[in-house]
């Protein structure tokens, strides 16, 4: 392990010393090319085989979830499907947030009884040959009803287009097949993002905990088997891409903190921010933390390289914000609302700043003295977030029995204790990396504030509209690091065994989650 760490350090030093002084534009081009897989060979060769296996495991698991979850029984899947249909068939973005998707899709939704099953836990999916025949008729009818595109895409209409553009590829490739075949192919494409997420979590932990090679695998595999990652990546939903881009952002940040900021990493951070903002609006929550990271890293770089290092902020910032700037400019020039369909959502704010802050606090943590109780009788930390993580599948209508949530407290407490022990043992190292930790905390806080503020828009009509754990999954790299730290917390002798048990715990969590889904829909 020591040898490996010193090799890594030597590589890092060598990287800094031997890097040719190429022009910034060329280096930025190389970085962006690398991001899109145009220059992967050298980079890919440096990725350990274990990381690839973690990625493969995550893909297989998400593919399994894509089968166990019935068509259109994942959150908002009909809306996301409609968006892809519109983009693939017309080349245009959806223009309406109405739920009136195309007739073709409606025929299929009715054929699989999607509306009767959604949020009706007592109702199962189609279960007889006669219902299957009716579905086949509905699919045939759908091909007769076929219209180009779907201008309405429900909740998805306000989302940026990159994920949907990628999903248009399998949609178009499955031309001639029915809507269900297209949906399955799109789900499998989405499953690839689960692989990328696990890969980048592995690499993130490799950068943050370089001395514990075995712990990287614990993090990668634990995340690969995370049931919510499987559910979301096994369905058509831009969350899957958001998780992967977020994990990549954490990795590049960690790499920059460990090896120093270069033109390449600054451009990569900017590009990831841009891709993230174009994948799903929730990335807005992570962006301030990412930009803070860029600033901190540039200040550090300036100590050695002088003021020229500050150019890296400008480079990263320009790359990051250019798509948003182009979007705003095109809307302004064409006389549309400046932020497009998002503009209407921004006018929904209500209440004082204090009431909003109080609400957001209570959404995650117990109420403090002086705060109005926004969640009477509800321990949000436990009931919304912890129980939500333990299991809430389908359209948030498939939980575990309450005793499972209680039982889950035991391993969760054990992991927390081991992680705490590990942190206490290495507190001096933590102090040395305080700036890096502050940046990760800012990313987490930004995302949590965004979820809280969005939920506050719907409050008090709905208590906690967006209190869904899936919205926190962009923070999976931090969770992976917690698992790795927990395994290390068991000590040098028992650490690998504890890590093995943590992974098995996640395997069990995943299998029982899928059984719960099977019981709910097909039991």
Partner 1 sequence: MRSVKVALVAGLASLAAALVLTLSASPMRVASTNRVPGTETPIASTRAGATYCQAHEVLPGGSSAIRVWLDAAAGPRVEVTVSSGSRVLASGARGSDWIGSSVTIPVKPLARTVVGTTVCVSFHLHDETIIVQGKAAPAAVAAHEGHRALAGRMLIEYLRPGARSWLSQATEVARRLGLGRAAAGTWVALVAFALLVAAVVLASRLLLRELA
Closest distance to partner 1 from the beta carbon of 392 (Å): 7
Q: Are 304 and 255 in contact (CB under 8 A)?
A: no
Tokens found for residue 135: 């579905």
One of 53, 302, 345, 423 touching partner 1 (CB under 8 A): 53
Residues 6 or more apart in contact with residue 329 via CB below 8 angstroms:
none
Distance (Å, whole) CA 53 – CA 50: 5
Task: Note whether 392 binds partner 1 by CB under 8 A.
Answer: yes
DSSP 3-55: HHHHHHHHHHHHHHHH-----HHHHHHHHHHHHTTSSHHHHHHTS-HHHHHHH
Closest distance to partner 1 from the beta carbon of 89 (Å): 19
Task: Note whether 331 binds partner 1 by CB under 8 A.
Answer: no
Q: Are 152 and 97 in contact (CB under 8 A)?
A: yes
* Residue 381 DSSP class: I
One of 8, 30, 50, 435 touching partner 1 (CB under 8 A): 50
Task: Note whether 489 binds partner 1 by CB under 8 A.
Answer: no
Closest distance to partner 1 from the beta carbon of 246 (Å): 23
Distance (Å, whole) CA 286 – CA 118: 31
In terms of CB distance, is 96 or 500 closer to partner 1? 500
In terms of CB distance, is 68 or 249 closer to partner 1? 68
Tokens found for residue 384: 């919304």
One of 1, 10, 33, 67 touching partner 1 (CB under 8 A): 67
Element containing residue 392 per DSSP (H, E)? strand 392-393
Closest distance to partner 1 from the beta carbon of 461 (Å): 7
In terms of CB distance, is 230 or 316 closer to partner 1? 230
Calculated CA dihedral for residues 208, 210, 216, 219, nearest 10 degrees: -20
Interface stretch with partner 1, choices 2-10, 279-287, 326-334, 378-386 (CB under 8 A): 378-386
Closest distance to partner 1 from the beta carbon of 54 (Å): 7
Distance (Å, whole) CA 183 – CA 72: 9
In terms of CB distance, is 181 or 430 closer to partner 1? 181
In terms of CB distance, is 151 or 230 closer to partner 1? 230
Closest distance to partner 1 from the beta carbon of 28 (Å): 35
Count residues near partner 1 (CB under 8 A): 86
| Other beta carbons within 10 Å of 331 | 16
Residues 6 or more apart in contact with residue 28 via CB below 8 angstroms:
263, 264, 267, 315, 319
Task: Note whether 177 binds partner 1 by CB under 8 A.
Answer: yes
Closest distance to partner 1 from the beta carbon of 185 (Å): 9
Residues 6 or more apart in contact with residue 199 via CB below 8 angstroms:
47, 51, 52, 54, 55, 58, 220, 247
Query: Greatest CA separation found in the chain?
Result: 74
One of 74, 101, 106, 126 touching partner 1 (CB under 8 A): 126
One of 31, 34, 35, 70 touching partner 1 (CB under 8 A): 70
In terms of CB distance, is 204 or 257 closer to partner 1? 204
| Other beta carbons within 10 Å of 308 | 9
Task: Note whether 348 binds partner 1 by CB under 8 A.
Answer: no
One of 82, 87, 142, 180 touching partner 1 (CB under 8 A): 180
84-123: which residues touch partner 1 (CB under 8 A)? 112, 119-122
Which backbone phi and psi does 393 adopt, to 5 degrees?
A: -115, -175
One of 210, 260, 285, 388 touching partner 1 (CB under 8 A): 388
In terms of CB distance, is 219 or 256 closer to partner 1? 219
Task: Note whether 277 binds partner 1 by CB under 8 A.
Answer: no
Task: Note whether 176 binds partner 1 by CB under 8 A.
Answer: no
221-250 footprint of partner 1 as x/- string (CB under 8 A): x--xx-------------------------
One of 56, 324, 339, 469 touching partner 1 (CB under 8 A): 56
429-488: which residues touch partner 1 (CB under 8 A)? 459-464
Distance (Å, whole) CA 520 – CA 523: 6
Interface stretch with partner 1, choices 157-165, 297-305, 429-437, 505-513 (CB under 8 A): 505-513
DSSP 269-293: HHHHHHHHHHH-GGGGGTHHHHHHH
Q: Which of 34, 519, 517, 4 is nearest to 265 (CA)?
A: 34
Q: Which residues pair with 96 in a beta bridge?
A: 152
Interface stretch with partner 1, choices 23-31, 39-47, 63-71, 261-269 (CB under 8 A): 63-71
Closest distance to partner 1 from the beta carbon of 243 (Å): 18
């Amino acid at each position: 392990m020591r040898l490996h760490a010193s090799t890594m350090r030597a590589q890092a030093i060598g990287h800094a010393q031997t890097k040719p002084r190429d022009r910034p534009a060329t280096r930025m081009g190389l970085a962006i090319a690398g991001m899109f897989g145009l220059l992967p060979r050298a980079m890919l060769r440096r990725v350990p085989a274990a990381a690839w296996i973690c990625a493969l495991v995550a893909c297989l698991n998400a593919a399994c979830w894509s089968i166990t979850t019935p068509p259109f029984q994942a959150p908002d899947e009909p809306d996301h499907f409609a968006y892809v249909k519109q983009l693939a068939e017309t080349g245009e973005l959806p223009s309406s947030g109405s739920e009136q998707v195309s007739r073709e899709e409606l025929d299929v939704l009715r054929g699989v009884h999607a509306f009767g099953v959604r949020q009706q836990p007592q109702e199962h999916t189609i279960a007889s040959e006669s219902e299957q025949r009716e579905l086949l008729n509905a699919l045939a009818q759908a091909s007769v009803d076929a219209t180009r595109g779907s201008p309405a895409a429900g909740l998805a209409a306000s989302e940026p287009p990159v994920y949907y553009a990628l999903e248009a590829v399998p949609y178009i490739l499955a031309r001639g097949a029915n809507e269900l075949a297209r949906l399955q192919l799109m789900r499998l494409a989405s499953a690839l993002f689960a692989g990328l997420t696990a890969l980048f979590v592995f690499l993130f932990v490799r950068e943050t905990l370089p001395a514990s090679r075995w712990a990287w695998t614990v993090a990668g595999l634990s995340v690969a088997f995370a049931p919510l990652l499987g559910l979301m990546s096994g369905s058509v939903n831009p969350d899957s891409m958001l998780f992967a881009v977020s994990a990549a952002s954490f990795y590049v940040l960690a790499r920059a903190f460990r090896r120093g900021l270069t033109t390449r990493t600054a451009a990569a951070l900017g590009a990831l921010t841009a891709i993230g903002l174009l994948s799903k609006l929730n990335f807005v929550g992570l962006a301030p933390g990412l930009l803070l990271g860029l600033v901190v890293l540039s200040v550090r770089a300036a100590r050695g390289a002088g003021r020229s290092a500050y150019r890296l902020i400008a480079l990263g910032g320009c790359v990051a914000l250019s798509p948003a700037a182009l979007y705003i400019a095109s809307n302004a020039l064409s006389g549309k609302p400046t932020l497009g369909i998002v503009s209407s959502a921004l006018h929904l704010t209500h209440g004082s700043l204090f009431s909003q802050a109080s609400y957001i606090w209570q959404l995650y943590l117990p109420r403090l003295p002086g705060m109005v109780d926004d969640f009477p009788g509800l321990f949000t930390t436990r009931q919304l977030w912890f129980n939500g993580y333990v299991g809430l599948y389908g359209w948030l209508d498939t939980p575990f029995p309450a005793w499972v949530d209680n039982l889950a407290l035991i391993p969760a407490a054990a992991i927390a204790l081991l992680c705490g022990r590990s942190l206490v043992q290495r507190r001096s190292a933590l102090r040395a990396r305080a700036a890096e930790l502050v940046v990760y905390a800012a990313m987490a806080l930004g995302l949590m504030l965004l979820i809280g503020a969005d939920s506050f828009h719907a409050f008090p009509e709905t208590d906690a509209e967006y209190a869904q754990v899936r919205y926190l999954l962009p923070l999976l790299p931090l969770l992976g690091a917690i698992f790795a730290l927990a395994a290390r917390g068991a000590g040098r002798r028992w650490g690998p065994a504890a890590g093995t048990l943590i992974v098995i715990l996640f395997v069990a969590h995943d299998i029982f989650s899928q059984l719960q889904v099977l019981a709910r829909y097909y039991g």
